[in-house]
């Protein structure tokens, strides 16, 4: 099964830019007066999401700087600094947040456009402590903008996300569960294709729990955005484990 990571660099870059445009369109649909409305992310308003997505772009610029110059520049100085940055950003007035978004998007796109061939293969360290080539920033950004476009609560849904992004998310999320030793026996099933995305095997030979739905539906469920449109082989859809 092909994933985002199997695509040529140019196609990955196109998907990241397409996702950014999609996210920007959703942001443009939100009135300034509605920035403080709650979202489906506990404790976060729209302002929190907008600040987070903007600062994420700047953090990825740090990784591209690292890749292009060899100067170690982590995404964030610490997890606490990241959280404080988002909390501060959420206090900005809507027009300031829109400007922050536009500036960060432009800056990251320039960094990608001007990166050398060698820089894309240069190893950097993510905020989660993974050592990856700088080209991984394309997936990291794609994941952010496509999902948070939905979280903004304008008109976008998981069904608007390209299939290659959804299949990559389904595989990534279940692999992350398995690596953390959670979600034992939980299997996501794409009703249209029969494709299965399994977490860790069921403990002590226990039965699998299949959560079935459209590809968009099972990814929405796995990402913790609700169980609408999915069914469970046990009759009750379990709460998914945390992913990020």
Least confident segment among 103-107, 198-202, 209-213:
198-202
81, with CB counted inside 10 A (0-12, 13-18, 19+), is: exposed
Residues 52-62: what's their mean pLDDT?
Answer: 98
Residues 191-204: what's their mean pLDDT?
Answer: 91
Domain 160-232 has CATH 3.20.20.370: no
Secondary structure element (H or E) that encloses residue 99, with its range: helix 94-113
CATH 1.20.120.450 maps onto the chain at: 4-156
SS3 120: helix
CATH 3.30.1050.20 maps onto the chain at: 160-232
Contact 210, 232 (CB under 8 A): yes
For residues 174 and 63, what is the distance between their CA atoms, to the nearest angstrom? Answer: 26
Residues 164-174: what's their mean pLDDT?
Answer: 98
Entry pTM: 0.95
pLDDT of residue 203: 80
* Angle, alpha carbons 81-127-133 (nearest 5°): 145
For residues 85 and 60, what is the distance between their CA atoms, to the nearest angstrom? Answer: 15
pLDDT of residue 56: 97
pLDDT surpasses 80 at 1: no
Residues 102-123: what's their mean pLDDT?
Answer: 97
pLDDT of residue 145: 98
| Top-tier CATH class for 4-156 | mainly alpha
Q: How many CB atoms lie within 10 A of CB 68?
A: 17
Residues 7-46 pLDDT 10s: 999 999 999 999 999 999 999 999 999 999 999 999 999 9
């Amino acid at each position: 099964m092909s994933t985002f990571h199997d695509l040529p660099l140019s196609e990955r870059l196109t998907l990241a830019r397409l996702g950014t445009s999609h996210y920007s369109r959703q942001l443009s649909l939100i009135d300034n007066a509605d920035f403080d409305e709650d979202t489906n992310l506990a404790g976060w308003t729209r302002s929190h999401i907008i600040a987070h997505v903007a600062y994420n772009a700047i953090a990825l610029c740090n990784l591209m700087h690292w890749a292009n110059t060899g100067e170690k520049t982590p995404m964030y100085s610490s997890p606490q600094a990241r959280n404080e940055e988002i909390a501060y950003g959420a206090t900005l007035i809507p027009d300031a947040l829109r400007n922050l978004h536009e500036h960060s998007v432009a800056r990251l796109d320039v960094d990608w456009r001007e990166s050398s061939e060698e820089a894309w293969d240069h190893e950097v360290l993510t905020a989660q402590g993974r050592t990856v080539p700088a080209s991984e920033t394309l997936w990291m950004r794609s994941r952010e903008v496509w999902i948070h476009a939905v979280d903004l609560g304008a008109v976008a849904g998981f069904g608007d996300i390209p299939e290659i992004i959804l299949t990559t998310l389904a595989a990534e999320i279940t692999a992350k569960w398995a690596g953390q030793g959670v979600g034992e026996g939980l299997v996501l099933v794409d009703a249209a294709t029969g494709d299965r995305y399994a977490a860790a095997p069921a403990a002590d030979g226990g039965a699998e729990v299949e959560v079935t739905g459209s590809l968009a539906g099972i990814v929405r469920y796995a990402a913790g955005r609700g169980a609408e449109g999915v069914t469970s082989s046990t009759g009750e859809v379990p709460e998914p484990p945390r992913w990020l």
